[in-house]
Chain A
């Protein structure tokens, strides 16, 4: 009897996993499409309805992109370098700054805390593209045009990151923090030794969407950078793609560039999502 019950459960589980996998396969269609699209020859690029799998894979799209890039006024490597610098700086500083802010917001009581919290919540509705002009005025007012800080600082104001971290840090048991305080740890020590390591799942999640946002962002390059050598890869790719919706020429360049922009997102996602699963908040407390 026990055996039959076990079998029924496993059959149900099996069906569930099967259905779930089918759904997952359907959801991942865009990835499959982007991966295949970049290798399609021109005649396959224009098929409608689009075909997901490439029939005659070719590298010519990447050759075209490479040719296009070598003819640009600013070398392609400069855009890549800018993007890497900006993304690294932003990622590190967003993590540190947001975690610091979230730590005190989650664990201490002080004046103005409620007002700051509700402002953060409200600002989640904020859409940067609607306030381009005021932001430009501020950036040029503090002379951040054509500097890396002009890319980084606007991204530092990340209410989503702080809001998410406040939730996670409030779950860290107070006993842990008190124990550390008794052992003589300073505020900075508690932050660096306990809060940061224990909020790794949240930090990993934040890294994923911050990376995605900064890597694909063209706003700072368009509005705050007038010097072409300070603009990022996303801007370059976007300038290739703009006005391409209905044109035939350079569609193949666009396809290759799309893959180029997508691959780092994918890598970062796989890298950081694994970190989410490795941490256990409650492992330190009995």
Chain B
């Protein structure tokens, strides 16, 4: 607004500058009042059911609390312990999560885009059924996991994979896939890739639908010769918001993953911490040891990590205004 006028004014009458700014602020708030009105219903629920509970939970991170006794404020001790003494966190949870996220994140993202794009090439009548097929694992949830994968990787002779390898003569004895620390993390990665076609995948499909078709014609005139160039120069730039949404959702789901190791092995803590992710670490402290203060400080750490990962996604796909 009137940026030209107000700096000059503040120099002449400094004592009223705060009031001037305040007035301008209120004038702008009133001008945009309909914006706040439109936002209000969402913002009220958002504050009441997400922001306040999260702040209440996050303050626990500065305390020592077992869920029954009294709260004891201990400052940053939890965080100091996390980075200096928690061996399981530093040698197992952190590297496991790092490796898991590095493969499942970009891998799942690329696969989701690839399959969304392939589905988009199909005739419109049959697209729904292919979408349904790829979305099925996320829609069916835990059932899918236990039925397909636990049966596949079962450690006895009848498990699909062992059965196959035995009949082919490639192994002599059945391999205990899910309890062996050597294999567990890799199996978790494979299964996670299988269920990675969820909301982000649907958003990409909807995003592909919004690409202006005239752009493809224009591109062809400007010398785009193959499909790959079309994808890189037209499709992806036109659906940046969906790519961003999908990237952020991928980051969120990979960092929030943890239930998968429990579902696969049936144990809250995996053998030798081989499939121990940060979320498992939080669950361990919150629901097994009842050190709620410590668990809460680990969650806050995870939140900070996710924030920086999201900043990276914004750098890639966001508009300049939001970065």
Name A residues whose Cβ lies closer than 8 Å to a Cβ of B.
16-17, 20, 24-25, 27-31, 33-34, 48-50, 97-98, 100-101, 103-105, 108, 110-111, 114, 116-117, 119-127, 130-131, 134-135, 138, 142, 153-154, 156-157, 159-160, 162-164, 166-168, 170-171, 187, 191, 201-202, 204-205, 208-209, 212, 216, 258, 262, 265-266, 269-270, 273-274, 276-277, 279-282
Contact = CB atoms under 8 A, between A and B. Distances in A.
A252 B128 CA distance: 31
Which of B25, B53, B299 has most chain A Cβ within 10 Å? Answer: B53
13 contacts: A20-B130, A24-B130, A27-B197, A49-B152, A116-B39, A123-B46, A124-B249, A130-B286, A130-B299, A160-B199, A171-B210, A209-B198, A282-B213
Q: Chain A interface secondary structure, helix, strand, loop or mixed?
A: helix
A205 B135 CA distance: 12
Contacts of B206: 168, 201-202, 204-205, 276
A269 B242 CA distance: 19
Interface string B218-261: 00000000000000000000000110110011001001100000
Q: Chain B interface secondary structure, helix, strand, loop or mixed?
A: helix
Nearest to A16: B118
Given A122-B307, A134-B56, A166 B42 contact: no
Contacts of A265: 139
Given A97-B42, A119-B51, A30 B202 contact: no
A276 B53 contact: no
B160 interface: yes
B241 A48 contact: no
Interface stretch (B8-16, B28-36, B102-110): B28-36
Interface string B273-314: 000000000000010000000000001001100110010000
B132 A153 contact: no
A100 B247 CA distance: 24
B6 interface: no
A139 to B, nearest CB: 8
Contacts of A97: 41-42, 45
B43 A116 contact: yes
Given A171-B241, A208-B202, A159 B46 contact: yes
Contacts of B172: none
B88 interface: no
A149 to B, nearest CB: 11
A205 B199 contact: yes
A114 B25 CA distance: 16
B140 interface: yes
A104 B39 contact: yes
A201 B41 contact: no
B306 A125 contact: yes
A131 B299 CA distance: 12
A282 B158 CA distance: 54
B90 interface: no
Given A28-B132, A135-B53, A269-B139, 10 more contacts: A25-B133, A27-B197, A30-B147, A134-B52, A168-B207, A204-B206, A205-B202, A205-B203, A266-B139, A276-B205
Contacts of A120: 46
